[in-house]
Chains A and B, each alone.
Chain A
Amino acid sequence: MMFLRNIFVSIIFFIILTSNSWSISSSEFISSLTTEASDILSSKLSDEEKIVRLKEIGERTVDIEGVGLYTLGKHRKLLTDNQKKQYNELFKNYFLKSFSGRLVGYSDAKIAVLSEEIKNEKYTIVFTKLIGTSDRPEVKIDWRVYTKNPENPLVRDLIIEGLSLARTQKEEFNSIIVNNDGNIEALFENLNKFLEN
């Protein structure tokens, strides 16, 4: 009987310990992601190699499909299945190129995680700051982390000094579609042009 009880207690402990190790807090997630990116940026790798490594991080830690659909705003309801598939592919390539291109210029980027605010079960905002240098002021960066699956948190937006990158992207895409009489193909054309350059 004692033996069975010990086994039962061990199983319970095992479940508690392993379930804790699976879930990761949003702050830890952002801290690990920024440390990894910072190490790559400050390394002696060539820009091309840095871009490849940054794209890997982006693909692993950002909800690219979710961000893509968000940035389409009201226009996403008008997509056919085929257009949706085409858009998801285009946006993923666009996002990764733009994401790595924006970051690769910062060789001395150090980010400090300050705190986090759990908004609801789906979203946590992690507050960080990009440490200032003699050439660049300190910058506040808040991360919208999508926590619907706590075992696999994903970034959905970066809010730099109160300005949302996802929202900016959404208004940029909307401007292209609206200026082309609502034709979504014009956006695809622009994304393709960006990818070709």
Chain B
Amino acid sequence: MNRILTTFFTILLIQLMVVNKSYGNEDEVKDCFEKLNRATFALNRGLDKVIFKPVSKGYRKIPSPIRTGTGKALNNLSNLITIPNNILQGDLGSAANNSARLIINTTIGILGIFDPANSLGFEKREKEDFGQTLGVMGVKEGCYFVLPVLGPSTVRDSVGSLISMNGGDTWHNITVRDDEEYVKEFKESDYWTSRALEGVDFRAKNLEAFESMENNSIDLYATVRSLYLQDRKKKIKNSKSNTEAMDDGDWNTLENQ
């Protein structure tokens, strides 16, 4: 527990130091390390070309029911992070709903491959993570940066990931940290396999969309950055239809000229 708190406060301090760099406009992208980010982005694109894209294409050749089952099982596992974040965000209804989904789908649904919980009235809800919870609590996103292999992030989202890796994620605890007394069946490799599968599953579902984006962008780095930051804002607001993108503000300035 001490380790979680120490990490949390240390990183929060760094976050505050970085965020305090002044920016004129709140909506302006805070890309403090753009040159380094662009280099890391180029590295990631190289890795994608040689490893992730071919693997995802191969994954797409697996029969659809197996891929769908894998995707559902990974989604089921993500409830282990979503539920504590539902509670931290004060959304007890979603916490109860997701707990019921986790129990029913892990048991009757065979590790989440099937989704009987949905038929019983516990519908699928949005995933939550510690980065989103910090956002809900009012912590600003801080500087945008690109991590090798893992891709886009912000200071706030990286703090969220560190919280997950330091006790916040039960799946990580029982596999990598091995500090759960009652669950001994899982190994560290199970954690990394599930994370890698998550990445491949996401990439495979978006093969055409990524290709189209690559072919039709004049600055792909800026496009990915914009999409990532918009997506995180949307997830923090938990908005379904009334997104920031639908705010008339920017469009009205066009009308008034």
**Contact partners of B248 in chain A: CB under 8 A:** 119-120, 123
Give the residue of A101, A168, A190 whose beta carbon is less than 8 angstroms from that of B226: A168
Q: Which of B15-23, B132-140, B209-217 interfaces with chain A? A: B209-217
Give min CB distance, B52 to chain A, whole Å. Answer: 17
Give min CB distance, B87 to chain A, whole Å. Answer: 24
Q: Other than the known A70-B251, A162-B234, A164-B230, what 19 A-B pairs have Cβ atoms closer than 8 Å?
A: A69-B254, A102-B212, A135-B60, A135-B205, A159-B246, A162-B230, A162-B239, A163-B227, A163-B231, A163-B234, A163-B245, A164-B246, A167-B245, A168-B226, A168-B230, A171-B226, A175-B225, A176-B218, A191-B218
Complex Cα–Cα for A66 and B251 (A):
9
Is there contact, CB below 8 Å, between B218 and A194?
yes
Q: Which of B225, B254, B255 has the most CB of A within 10 A?
A: B254
Scan residues 223-240 of chain B and give those whose CB is less than 8 A from a CB of chain A.
223, 225-227, 230-231, 234, 239
Give the residue of B205, B217, B243 whose beta carbon is less than 8 angstroms from that of A137: B205
Is there contact, CB below 8 Å, between B218 and A172?
yes
Interface size on A, residues (CB 8 A): 45
Is there contact, CB below 8 Å, between B219 and A101?
no
Complex Cα–Cα for A174 and B152 (A):
19
A50 at the interface (CB under 8 A from B): no
**Contact partners of B246 in chain A: CB under 8 A:** 119, 125, 142, 144, 159, 164
Contact with B along A165-186 (1 / 0, CB 8 A): 0011011101110010000000
**Contact partners of A125 in chain B: CB under 8 A:** 241, 246
Complex Cα–Cα for A94 and B219 (A):
13
Is there contact, CB below 8 Å, between A168 and B227?
yes
Complex Cα–Cα for A125 and B251 (A):
13
Known: A162-B234, A163-B231. A136 touches B251 (CB 8 A): no
Interface size on B, residues (CB 8 A): 34
A89 at the interface (CB under 8 A from B): no
**A148's closest neighbor in chain B, by CB?**
B255
Complex Cα–Cα for A68 and B230 (A):
20
**B63's closest neighbor in chain A, by CB?**
A134
**Contact partners of A73 in chain B: CB under 8 A:** 250
A-B contact pairs, 11 of them (CB 8 A): A70-B250, A70-B251, A73-B250, A105-B208, A117-B241, A164-B230, A164-B246, A168-B230, A171-B29, A176-B222, A190-B218
Complex Cα–Cα for A162 and B207 (A):
19
Is there contact, CB below 8 Å, between B212 and A172?
no
B64 at the interface (CB under 8 A from A): yes
Known: A69-B254, A175-B219. A162 touches B226 (CB 8 A): no
Scan residues 103-151 of chain B and give those whose CB is less than 8 A from a CB of chain A.
none
**B255's closest neighbor in chain A, by CB?**
A122
A156 at the interface (CB under 8 A from B): yes
Give min CB distance, A88 to chain B, whole Å. Answer: 14
Contact with B along A89-126 (1 / 0, CB 8 A): 00000100010011001100000000001011011010
**Contact partners of B216 in chain A: CB under 8 A:** 98, 101-102
Is there contact, CB below 8 Å, between B245 and A172?
no
**Contact partners of B251 in chain A: CB under 8 A:** 70, 123, 144, 156
**A117's closest neighbor in chain B, by CB?**
B241
Contact with B along A60-95 (1 / 0, CB 8 A): 000000100110010011000000000000000010
Complex Cα–Cα for A176 and B250 (A):
20
A157 at the interface (CB under 8 A from B): yes
Is there contact, CB below 8 Å, between B64 and A134?
yes
A29 at the interface (CB under 8 A from B): no
Complex Cα–Cα for A94 and B217 (A):
10
